[in-house]
Amino acid sequence: MCGILAVLGCSDDSQAKRVRVLELSRRLRHRGPDWSGLYQHGGSYLSHQRLAIIDPASGDQPLFNEDQAIVVTVNGEIYNHEELRKRLPNHKFRTGSDCDVIAHLYEEYGENFVDMLDGMFSFVLLDTRDNSFIVARDAIGITPLYIGWGLDGSVWISSELKGLNDDCEHFECFPPGHLYSSKSGGLRRWYNPPWFCEAIPSTPYDPLVLRNAFEKAVIKRLMTDVPFGVLLSGGLDSSLVAAVTARHLAGTKAARQWGAQLHSFCVGLENSPDLKAAREVADYLGNRPP
């Protein structure tokens, strides 16, 4: 839900341009009320509007590697960040943020690190050593992202169109599962699972495999340092998510800090069928409103 805005390779590095980037970044303020950050290196600007979920005390962005030569602004969550940290024993991390691994992974593996990330994310990474940059969006486009081009050849990246449409000659949706590299000057697909080119999936249906994958998908999303709840509609999808969450919440870091009682929410018209069904699910699971 964080908001990112970047202007890369701009011909204008003036204070007026910096102020303009700040003004545009504020258009994304509703996405992240907890922190605002801006980094400038020559004619490149990376800004961030933060909604704090992991390490709210010190995970402010933009984030850096050890010598601050590599800077990154991210919207999203990296579910396997603890595992990735173990693969970087020679690196020192400034924060406990899940997104802190990105700059260090790039330093270690170059542009090909993106498929190591398990999560939902959009990010912009600037390497100040040669003024190169990369932009990437998660496999199926859970996080929103747009790309635009200025008249001076600059590349603009934003979580929402309102961050770039006034200043770009052309703009479009950044495609899911893709990476933009300034070194190659274009987009390429980083997400290439074996089944991607299959017209008809060849894997046989196995309900136990499906259930296991679904539960793992829910459990890894319980990673948080702040209180959270589930949104119930009373339908099958949200009810299953709530049921898995209720079953596994007690063993999480969040439960140790905030308690194992799951809070549920529902939005609907008074006395509507959705509200009635959601109440039945919440009562059955032992949820309660905050």
pLDDT digits (tens, 9 = 90+) for 222-268: 998 888 899 999 899 999 999 999 999 888 888 888 888 889 999 88
Q: If you write DSSP's letter for every residue of 65-85 in order, what string do you get? A: -TTS-EEEEEEEEETTHHHHH
Q: Which residue do the tokens 């770009």 mark?
A: 168
Residues in CB range of 158: below 8 A, 6 or more apart = 3, 4, 5, 6, 24, 28, 145, 146, 148, 164
Q: Is 199 helix (H, G, I), strand (E, B) or coil?
A: coil
Residue 2 a catalytic site member: yes
The SS3 of residue 159 is coil
Query: For residue 46, what are the CA distances in angstroms to 15, 91, 122, 126, 153?
Result: 15, 23, 13, 8, 17
Which residues of the chain are modeled with pLDDT < 50?
A: 290
CA distance 100 to 97: 5
> N- to C-terminal Cα distance for the chain?
22
Q: Is cis: bond before 201, omega within 30 of 0?
A: no
Structure tokens at 71: 């800077």
Q: Side chain identity at 63, as an amino acid letter? A: L
| Catalytic member of 2, 99, 168, 266 | 2
Among residues 137, 166, 136, 134, the alpha carbon closest in space to that of 150 is found at: 166
Q: What is the pLDDT of residue 288?
A: 66
Q: What are phi and psi of 274, to 5 degrees?
A: -60, -45
Judge contact between 195 and 202, C-beta under 8 A.
yes
- Is residue 6 a contact partner of residue 75, using CB atoms and an 8 Å limit? no
> CA-CA distance, 92 to 83, in Å (whole number)?
15
Q: Which residues make Cβ contacts (< 8 Å) with residue 86, sequence separation at least 6?
A: none
Closest CA to 58 of 248, 225, 221, 227: 225
Sheet holding 186-189, edge to edge: 63-64, 70-78, 119-127, 132-137, 178-181, 186-189
Taking a C-beta distance cutoff of 8 angstroms, is the pair 111, 135 a contact?
no
Question: What does pTM read for this prediction?
Answer: 0.91
